[in-house]
Each structure stands twice: as C-alpha cells, then as structure tokens.
Amino acid sequence: MSRTPHHPTREQIELPMVLDCLSDPIRLAIVYQLAQQERVSSELRCSDFSALSGKSNLAYHFAKLRDCGLMRTRVAGTNRFMRLRREDLEARFPGLLDAVLGSAAKDADRLPLVSGCELVEVDRK
C-alpha cells in the first residue's frame, strides 16, 4: 500500500475528467457532502459514506475523485480523511465547483445522500 495516494498537481486537473467524475450520482453525493461538511470541519472519513455503497466500491470512487483532482486524501492511522481541493479547483476553473454544488443542492432530493445526523461530529485525533 503506497504511503500517500497519488494526487494530480493543480495544473494537471482536466475539465473533462472533473465533469466525468461529477457525473456519477455517488461521486456527486460524496462531493456534495464534503462541501456541506466544509462549514464544520472540512474533512470526512471514508466510512462516513458507508451508507452510499460497499467499502470496495467506495474505494473505487474515492480513487477516481482523487485522480481527477477533486479531493485530497490524508492518511491518519487506519483512517483516510478526505477534503475538497477547493482552492485548486477555484484557481483552475473559477466558479465551476460552486455552480455544480448549487445545482446539486437544487436537486438534493435526487441525490443518494447519507442520513445526515452522524456527519457533524468533529472528533479528530
């Protein structure tokens, strides 16, 4: 297992890959919830999304989200903490992320969202 997962540099972030990544309902939901969480702690564990799908499937989606530059993974013990690469995305494609998030918010009822309550804990180590 590589110590730190691969992340593209800011300049390597490609528009088609970002849009393709966001076009999957599960990944869009992940990004959406990550954005919601930003107001509180900016980071979430993989297991926080376990309601969306199985572990291995989530790992697959997380890898895609990393590969396209949408989020960054920080390894801490057995946990992986993920957060949006907001600044990189804003620098690369100004206004895009917020437009997508706003659109997702309008259609939040069509997204496979996690229940909600348990997403607000901030106990970090």
Partner DNA sequence: TCGATAGTTCAATAAACGTTGAACATAAGG
Partner DNA sequence: CCTTATGTTCAACGTTTATTGAACTATCGA
Number of residues that bind a second copy (CB under 8 A): 25
Q: How far apart are CA 46 and CA 62, in angstroms?
A: 8
The tally of CA atoms less than 13 A away on the side-chain side of residue 91 is 10
Min separation Cβ 61 and a second copy, Å: 14
Q: Which residues 57-96 are close enough to bind DNA by CB under 7 A?
A: 57-64, 73, 77-80
Min separation Cβ 103 and a second copy, Å: 4
Q: Is 14 in the site for a second copy (CB under 8 A)?
A: yes
Contacts with a second copy by CB under 8 A lie at: 14-17, 19-20, 22-25, 28, 92-96, 98-100, 102-104, 106-107, 110
